[in-house]
Amino acid sequence: MKLTKIEIKGLFDLFDYEIPLTNEENLLIITGPNGFGKTMILNIIDSFFNNRLHFFQKLVFKSISMWTDDGKKIFIKKEIISNEFEIIIYKGVQIIAQFSNSQKIEEDIIRVILRNNSNIRQIDDGQWLDRLTDRILNLEDLVNDYSTADRHSIFPELTDYSSLIKVHIIKEQRLLRRTPQKKRNSYERGNDVYIIDTIAEYANELRDSLNSNLQDSLSITQRLDSSFPKRLLNEKGHLTVEEFNIRFNTLKEKQEKLNRFGLSHSEQEVPDYDAKNANVLLVYLKDSEIKMDVFDELLNKLELFTNILNERRFTYKSIKIDRKKGFIFLTKIGVELKLTDLSSGEQHEVVLLYELIFKTNPNTLVLIDEPEISLHVTWQKEFLSDLLKILELQKMQVIVATHSPQIINDRWDLVFNLETQRIQ
Write the pLDDT tens digit of every residue in 323-337.
999 999 999 899 999
What is each CA distance from 265 to 76, 285, 300, 336, in whole angstroms? 57, 19, 19, 22
- Is the separation of the CB atoms in 1 and 363 below 8 Å? yes
Spatial separation of the C-alpha atoms in residues 356 and 398, rounded to whole Å: 10
- Per-residue pLDDT, 147: 58
**Given this model, what pLDDT does residue 161 score?**
57
pLDDT of residue 180: 53
Amino acid identity, residue 104? Answer: K
Residue 95 pairs with which residues in a beta bridge?
90
Give Dmax over CA atoms of the chain in angstroms. 85
Tell me the C-alpha distance between 135 and 123, whole Å: 11
Condensed to tens digits (0 to 9), the pLDDT of residues 38-83 reads: 999 999 999 888 877 778 888 999 999 999 988 889 999 988 777 7
Give the residue among 278, 308, 302, 420 at the shortest CA–CA distance from 358.
302
CA 198 to chain centre: 14
**Structural domains of the chain, ranges and CATH numbers in brackets:** 1-103+163-172+370-424 (3.40.50), 104-162 (no CATH), 192-363 (no CATH)
* Dihedral (Cα; 354, 359, 362, 366), 10-degree rounding: -80
3-state SS string for the chain: CCEEEEEEEEECCCEEEEEECCCCCCEEEEECCCCCCHHHHHHHHHHHHCCCCCHHHHCCCCEEEEEECCCEEEEEEECCCCCCEEEEEEECCEEEEEEEHHHCHHHHHHHHHHHHCCCEEEEECCEEEECCCCEEECHHHHHHHHCCCHHHHHCHHHHHHHCCCEEEEECCCCCEEEEEEECCCCCCCCEEEEEEEHHHHHHHHHHHHHHHHHHHHHHHHHHHHHHHHHHHHHCCCCCCHHHHHHHHHHHHHHHHHHHHCCCCCCCCCCCCCCHHHHHHHHHHHHHHHHHHHCCHHHHHHHHHHHHHHHHCCCCCEEEEEECCCEEEEEECCCCEECHHHCCHHHHHHHHHHHHHHHCCCCCEEEEEECCCCCCCHHHHHHHHHHHHHHHHHHCCEEEEECCCHHHHCCCHHHEEEHHHHCCC
| CA-angle at 207, arms to 206 and 208, nearest 5° | 90
Output the pLDDT for position 6: 96
Q: What is the pLDDT of residue 152?
A: 45
Give the HSE-up count for residue 12: Cα atoms under 13 Å, Cβ half-sphere: 12
| Phi, psi (deg, nearest 5) at residue 195 | -95, 125
pLDDT at position 205 is 96
Mean pLDDT per 10-residue segment, the chain (424 residues) = 93 94 91 94 92 82 92 88 81 79 64 79 82 78 61 50 80 77 46 74 96 93 91 87 90 90 75 80 90 93 94 83 95 92 92 95 94 90 93 93 94 93 61
